[in-house]
Structure 1
Amino acid sequence: MKDLFDYCDFGDLKLNSRVIRTGLWESERESAGNFTPEIYTRYENIAASGVGLIITELFTFIARDAYSKYALTTNYTRFVREAKDLTEMVHIYGVPIFAQLGFVECNKRLEQNVSVNDLSVEDIRKIQTDFIIAAQKFDFAGFDGIQIAMGNSFFFSHFLNPSVNRREDNYGGNTLNRLRMILEIIKVLKQNTKLHINCRINAFDRDGLTVDEAIEIAKLLEKHGADSLQITCPHSQYVLTRDNAGEIPLVEAAERIIKEVDIPVIYGGGLNTQNKINEILNQTDIDFISMQRPFIADPSFLVEWQVSGNGESFCQTCHNCYAKKTSTCHLKPCSPEYYKKS
Structure 2
Amino acid sequence: MSKLFETIQFADLTLNNRVIIAPMCQYSATEAGEVSYWHEQQWANYALSGAGLCIVEATAVQAEGRISYADLGLWNDQQRDQIKTLLQKVKTLSPMPFGVQLAHAGRKASTDKPWLGRGQFAPEHAHGWQTVAPSAVAFSEKDLAPHALTLEEIQAVKHDFVAAAQRAVDAGFDLIELHAAHGYLLHQFLSPLSNQRQDQYGGSLENRMRLTLEVLAEVLEVVPQGFPVGVRISATDWMESQADASWTLESSVELAKQLEKVGAAYVHVSSGGLHEKQHIDIEPNYQVPFAAEIKQHVHIPVIAVGLITESQQAEMIVRHHQADAIALARAILYDPRWVWHAAVSLGEPIQVAPQYLRSQPHGFKNLFHAFSES
**TM value normalised by structure 1:** 0.81
Cα distance in 2 between the residues matched to 1:41 and 1:63: 24
Count of aligned residue pairs for this structure pair:
305
The Cα shift of 1:249 comes to 5.3
The Cα shift of 1:23 comes to 2.2
Contact 1:26-1:57 at 8 Å conserved across structures: yes
Cα distance in 2 between the residues matched to 1:219 and 1:269: 22
Cα distance in 2 between the residues matched to 1:273 and 1:5: 14
Which of 224, 227, 232 is the equivalent residue of 2:262?
224
Q: 1:240 and 2:282 equivalent? A: yes
Contact 2:189-2:195 at 8 Å conserved across structures: yes
The Cα shift of 1:190 comes to 1.6
Q: 1:290 and 2:324 equivalent? A: no
Contact 2:58-2:103 at 8 Å conserved across structures: yes
Contact 1:166-1:172 at 8 Å conserved across structures: yes
Q: 1:62 and 2:52 equivalent? A: no
Q: 1:94 and 2:95 equivalent? A: yes
The Cα shift of 1:64 comes to 3.2
> Structure 2 regions of 5+ residues with no counterpart?
111-122, 136-147, 240-245, 348-374
Cα distance in 1 between the residues matched to 2:149 and 2:162: 18
The Cα shift of 1:306 comes to 2.6
Per-residue CA deviations over 1:285-333 (Å, capped at 9, x if unaligned) read: 31200111122224333233333449xxxxxxxxxxxxxxxxxxxxxxx
Moved over 4 A (4+): 89-92, 106-111, 235-239
Amino acid at match of 1:24: M
Amino acid at match of 2:34: N
Q: 1:192 and 2:222 equivalent? A: yes
Amino acid at match of 2:201: Y
SS of 2:25's equivalent in the other structure is: coil
Cα distance in 2 between the residues matched to 1:47 and 1:293: 16
SS of 2:300's equivalent in the other structure is: coil
Contact 1:19-1:291 at 8 Å conserved across structures: yes
Q: Give the corresponding residue for 2:177.
A: 147
> Structure 1 regions of 5+ residues with no counterpart?
243-247, 311-342
SS of 1:69's equivalent in the other structure is: coil
Contact 1:62-1:103 at 8 Å conserved across structures: yes
The Cα shift of 1:86 comes to 3.4
Q: Give the corresponding residue for 2:131.
A: 113
Cα distance in 2 between the residues matched to 1:102 and 1:58: 6
The Cα shift of 1:76 comes to 5.0
SS of 2:14's equivalent in the other structure is: strand
Question: Higher mean Cα deviation, 210-219 or 42-51?
Answer: 42-51
Contact 2:2-2:346 at 8 Å conserved across structures: no
Q: Give the corresponding residue for 1:137.
A: 167
The Cα shift of 1:274 comes to 0.9
Q: Give the corresponding residue for 1:14.
A: 14
Larger Rg: 2
Cα distance in 1 between the residues matched to 2:171 and 2:280: 33
SS of 2:256's equivalent in the other structure is: helix
**Structure 2 vs 1, CA of residues 66 and 9 (structure 1 numbering), >3 Å: closer, same or farther?**
closer
Q: 1:212 and 2:250 equivalent? A: yes
Per-residue CA deviations over 1:5-28 (Å, capped at 9, x if unaligned) read: 223333321112111101211233
Question: Higher mean Cα deviation, 51-60 or 62-71?
Answer: 62-71
Amino acid at match of 1:102: A
Identity of aligned residues (%): 29
Q: Give the corresponding residue for 1:328.
A: none
User: What are the residue-to-residue correspondences of 1:176-187 with 2, within 5 Å?
Assistant: 176-187=206-217
Q: Give the corresponding residue for 1:278.
A: 315
**Structure 2 vs 1, CA of residues 112 and 31 (structure 1 numbering), >3 Å: closer, same or farther?**
closer
Cα distance in 1 between the residues matched to 2:75 and 2:261: 32
Question: Higher mean Cα deviation, 57-66 or 189-198?
Answer: 57-66
**Structure 2 vs 1, CA of residues 53 and 66 (structure 1 numbering), >3 Å: closer, same or farther?**
closer
Amino acid at match of 1:23: P
SS of 1:205's equivalent in the other structure is: coil
Question: Higher mean Cα deviation, 82-91 or 18-27?
Answer: 82-91
Cα distance in 1 between the residues matched to 2:30 and 2:195: 36
Cα distance in 1 between the residues matched to 2:286 and 2:329: 19
* Aligned-residue RMSD, C-alpha: 2.5
Cα distance in 1 between the residues matched to 2:70 and 2:38: 16
Contact 2:29-2:36 at 8 Å conserved across structures: yes
Cα distance in 1 between the residues matched to 2:13 and 2:204: 34
